Amino acid sequence: MLYDCAVIGGGPAGLNASLILGRGRQQVILFDDDTPRNAVTQESHNFISRDGVHPAEFKKASYEDLNKYPTISVQRNHVVDIVPTASYFQIQTEKGQQYEAQRIILTTGLKDILPEIEGMHQFYGTSLFGCPYCDGWELKDLPLVYIAAYPHAFNSIKMVSNWSKDIVVCTNGKETISPQEKAILSQKNIQVIEDEILRLQGEGGQLKSIQFKNGNELHRQAGFISYKLQQAAPFAGRLDLESNGMGGIKIDPYGRTSRKGVYAAGDNAGGLPQQIVAAAEGSKAAISVLSDHVAETF
Ligand SMILES: Cc1cc2nc3c(=O)[nH]c(=O)nc-3n(C[C@H](O)[C@H](O)[C@H](O)COP(=O)(O)OP(=O)(O)OC[C@H]3O[C@@H](n4cnc5c(N)ncnc54)[C@H](O)[C@@H]3O)c2cc1C
C-alpha cells in the first residue's frame, strides 16, 4: 500500500501532525519507537489542560484520539532508513518491514547529551533539570546548583534566578563562565565554583550534595544543568536536507524542508523546546502536506 504520508516520531509534533492528516482524509502511517527526550521526567508542564501530566499519560491520551480515525495506522517501531525513489519514499524498520509513502514528516526530536559526571543520570529529570520554564516553579526559592559544564550557560543562569536567588554555579573544572560574567554573578551573590566535581550525592532521585575532587562538599537540594543536543535520528543527512545552521533541519514557516515531499516539525527543526510548540509545529507541517496534496490533485 502506498500511504499518503508517513510521520516518523510520535512526540507531540508527530502526534498532532498525524491527527490533522488523518482527519484530512490522508492515509497516514505514524512510526514511533517510544524513546522521547522527556522520558526521564515525572511531570510535564506548560501545556494548557495537560499541566503536570506524566509524559506516558500524555501519549496514552493522544493515541486514544488517533485510534478514532481509520485513516491513521500506528507502527510502534524504530525506523532505520528512508530511501527516496523518483515518486515516493521507502521506509525501512528495525524489524525488517518496508513501507511506502508519498510524503514524509520528520518529527524525530532531539537527544540530550548530559555532562559526564557521576550520578547525573540518577538526578536528571527528578531534581536536576535543563529547562527553567518547564520545572522552575517546582524548585522556586530552593537552594539550587547550576552545573555549567558546557559553554553559553550565562543567560540560562540569569533565567534561573527568576525562580530562586539562592544559586551556586559549578563549572566542573571548565572555563565556561567568562571573567565579566563572573563579576556580574558575584554582584548578584551568585558564587561560581570552578573545582572539578567528583560525584553528585542523594537518594531516590533527590539531590543532596555535590562532592568535589578536592574533598569539598556543597549542599544543594536541586538545580539546573547546561547540556548539548543532537538530532535523535540521522534522516536529515540521509535525505540531504539543508540545515538551519544550529543543528536543526531548515524549514519554511510551514514545515517544508529543502527537499520536495519532506517536511519537519518540533525540536528537530529548531522549534522552541516546549511540547505545545512542537504540537503546533506538527499541525503546520500537516496542513502543508494537505495543501500541497490538494494543489497537486484538485
Ligand atoms: C527532562 C525534560 C523535561 C521536559 N519538560 C517539559 C515540560 O515540562 N514542558 C514542555 O512543554 N516541554 C518539556 N520538555 C521539552 C519537550 O519534551 C520537547 O520540546 C518535546 O517533547 C518535543 O517534541 P517533539 O515531538 O519534537 O519530539 P519528542 O517528544 O522527542 O518525540 C520524538 C519521537 O520520535 C521518536 N523517534 C525518534 N527517532 C525515531 C526513529 N528512528 N524511529 C521511530 N521513532 C523515532 C522518539 O521515540 C519520540 O517518541 C522537556 C524536555 C526534557 C528533556
Looking up residue 289, the CATH number of its domain turns out to be 3.50.50.60
Q: Which of 60, 77, 131 to mutate to test the pocket of ligand 1 (most atoms within 8 A of CB)?
A: 131
Whose CA is closest to atom 35 on ligand 1? Answer: 9
Ligand 1 atom closest to the Cα of residue 124 is 1
100 and 143 share a domain?
Answer: no
28 and 85 share a domain?
Answer: yes
131 and 201 share a domain?
Answer: yes
The reported pLDDT for the residue numbered 39 is: 87
Residues of the chain with pLDDT below 70 are none
Q: What is the pLDDT of residues 7-39, one digit of tens each?
A: 999 999 999 999 999 999 999 999 999 998 888
The reported pLDDT for the residue numbered 234 is: 94
Question: In this structure, what C-alpha cell is assigned to residue 227?
Answer: 547540556
239 and 156 share a domain?
Answer: no
11 and 100 share a domain?
Answer: yes
Residue the block writes with cell 517501531: 77
Q: Which of 8, 34, 42, 44 to mutate to test the pocket of ligand 1 (most atoms within 8 A of CB)?
A: 44
Read off the DSSP letter of residue 140: T
176 and 256 share a domain?
Answer: no
160 C-alpha to ligand 1 centroid (Å): 22
Q: For residue 244, give its domain range.
A: 2-111+230-297
274 C-alpha to ligand 1 centroid (Å): 9
The reported pLDDT for the residue numbered 63 is: 97
122 and 202 share a domain?
Answer: yes
The reported pLDDT for the residue numbered 151 is: 86
* Residues contacting ligand 1 via CB (< 6 Å): 8-14, 31-38, 40-41, 44-47, 78-79, 107-109, 112, 125, 130-131, 134, 232-233, 266-267, 273-276, 278
273 C-alpha to ligand 1 centroid (Å): 8
Ligand 1 atom closest to the Cα of residue 268 is 26
Q: What is the pLDDT of residues 256-279, one digit of tens each?
A: 999 999 999 999 999 899 999 999
Give the residue ranges of DSSP H helices in the chain: 12-23, 55-66, 120-123, 132-135, 154-160, 179-187, 235-238, 275-297
211 and 245 share a domain?
Answer: no
133 and 97 share a domain?
Answer: no
The reported pLDDT for the residue numbered 21 is: 98
148 and 10 share a domain?
Answer: no
Number of domains in the chain: 2
* Radius of gyration of the CA atoms of the chain, in A: 21
Ligand 1 atom closest to the Cα of residue 41 is 1
The reported pLDDT for the residue numbered 271 is: 84
Whose CA is closest to atom 21 on ligand 1? Answer: 275
Instruction: Work out the burial of residue 142: count CB atoms within 10 Å of its CB; fewer than 13 is exposed, 13-18 middle, 19 or more buried.
Output: middle
End-of-domain residue from the set 225, 240, 266? 225
The reported pLDDT for the residue numbered 224 is: 98
